A and B are shown apart, each in its own frame.
Chain A
Amino acid sequence: MKPSPFAYTRAKTVKEAVALLARHKDDARLLAGGQSLIATLNMRLSAPELLIDINGIRNLDGIARKGKYVEIGALARHAQVENSDVIAKHAPLLALAMPHIGHPAIRNRGTFGGSIAFADPAAELPACLLALGGEIDIAGPRGKRKVKADAFFKGLFETALRPQEMITAVRIPAADKSARVGFAELARRHGDYAIVGLAACARAEGKRLTDVRLAYFGVGNTPVRARKAETALAGGDIEAAVKTLELEPNDDVQATAEVKKHLAGVLLRRVAAQLMGTRT
């Protein structure tokens, strides 16, 4: 199908983009990478009056180490993050996850901020951000604010972003020597949205793990922490962790809830092995 008619304009600064959003309210949508938005327009699942193209805003695509954090600009393309030396060195979880996001042609356009703002429950980056305990920088008509990942993902495609706000950057703690990460997903075709996926990080203290954070995707309306399994895994018992999983996925076009629950256990064993440094 073809999109219904809309007007198009370009914002050159964050301030301009936010002012345009404030003026046009629900009739306007921001256009970043467009890899989800334009698909929904083509299918007429969404029909805004105005698209505000933010691709021309300068200095919004940087990837840099800043003290204890790695900061990723909202307009950084997935391919840029995938090929970044800073990410390879200081954000190993993202380095593991990036090749699973869409396909090369999609990764050339899709943006980090766009993926977080869209908050698809089966997408990789929201779960990674949740696992890492990241933080989101937001600009709006009343100025700037920060929201922690734990408080950002509210419901199905619903986030803490208010209608006239936009994401400007995302920050995650830079990995140090004790950081351990794990990532696995099951999809019918490489690059498709996952049936079930798991992003995880932890800290190694000798042979033990602490600060385990497990974030599942594709099993609910938002990425979900598996808190009991985190505790069990810190105790070193993988099978106990699998038994404590209390996920409540719905049946969807890809798999039934029962299949998803089973696969969640399979992924937990694989990811636990990655965290503990033993290969599967």
Chain B
Amino acid sequence: MSGRTLDISLTVNGERVRGHVEARRTLVDFLREDLALTGSHVGCEHGVCGACTVRVNGEIVRGCLMLAVQCDGATVETIEGLSDSGEVADLQAAFEQRNALQCGFCTPGMLTAAQDLLKRSKKVPSRDQIREHLSGNYCRCTGYHAIVDAVEAVAQARAKGK
């Protein structure tokens, strides 16, 4: 497998997809431009802002710092998938209730990163741990407090529900 354009096949949000992509195509551009999954956002394009955060093989990554060709054979999940499956429904509701978004540009990445923390945590994470886990996701509207509140509330609710 080599060349300037390559064939790839991967699973995106549970569906098999094929693509013929330029080697230079980043994963997030492939998702947005070729698959019309525009929930993952393109902000800084150098790994700083976190707006393009998606899951590859179960782990969160920067969609702008991975090439589409590197995802050949991989399982990719975007905010559309996490949303449709209901996996982040409680987080979405909490974000809305607490005004944890204003313009919404960072929200898909923020939810994906928050869900990653909640999924991995064996107990309710502290506010410091929430802040640290979300440190790679910029929000220019909220000042973060409402986001931390929302994530903390969901973590507590999930812990009670279990």
Real complex partners, A and B?
Answer: yes
Identify the A interface with B (CB < 8 A): 1-10, 31, 34-35, 38-39, 41-43, 51, 53, 55, 79, 99, 102-106, 108-109, 189-191
Q: Is the interface of B mostly helix, strand, loop or mixed?
A: mixed
Contact B62 A10, beta carbon cutoff 8 Å: no
Asked whether any CB of chain A lies closer than 8 Å to the CB of B125, the reply is no
Q: Which residues of B contact A55 (CB under 8 A)?
A: 70
Identify the B interface with A (CB < 8 A): 1-4, 6, 22-24, 26, 29, 45-47, 50, 53, 59-62, 64-67, 69-70, 113, 116-117, 131-133, 135-137
Contact B2 A9, beta carbon cutoff 8 Å: yes
Contact A108 B59, beta carbon cutoff 8 Å: yes
Q: Nearest Cβ in chain B — how far from A110, in angstroms?
A: 9
Question: A3–B70 Cα gap in the complex (Å)?
Answer: 15
Chain B residue nearest in CB terms to A110: B65
Q: Nearest Cβ in chain B — how far from A30, in angstroms?
A: 13
Q: Which residues of B contact A34 (CB under 8 A)?
A: 65-67, 70
10 residue pairs, one from A and one from B, having the closest CB atoms: A103-B136, A9-B2, A8-B23, A39-B46, A190-B135, A3-B24, A108-B59, A105-B60, A38-B65, A42-B45
Q: Which residues of A contact B117 (CB under 8 A)?
A: 104
Question: A55–B66 Cα gap in the complex (Å)?
Answer: 12
Contact B1 A191, beta carbon cutoff 8 Å: no
| From A6, A42, A55, residue with most partner B Cβ within 10 Å | A42
Contact B116 A5, beta carbon cutoff 8 Å: no
Contacting B53 at CB < 8 Å: which of A3, A102, A105, A190?
A105
Say whether, besides A10-B1, A42-B26, A103-B135, A109 and B61 are in contact (CB < 8 Å).
yes
Contact A104 B6, beta carbon cutoff 8 Å: no
Q: Nearest Cβ in chain A — how far from B129, in angstroms?
A: 11
Q: Which residues of A contact B50 (CB under 8 A)?
A: 103, 105
Q: Can you name 21 A-B residue pairings with CB atoms under 8 Å?
A: A6-B4, A6-B23, A7-B3, A7-B23, A8-B6, A8-B23, A9-B2, A34-B66, A34-B70, A35-B62, A35-B65, A39-B64, A42-B26, A43-B45, A53-B70, A99-B132, A102-B136, A103-B50, A104-B113, A105-B60, A189-B135
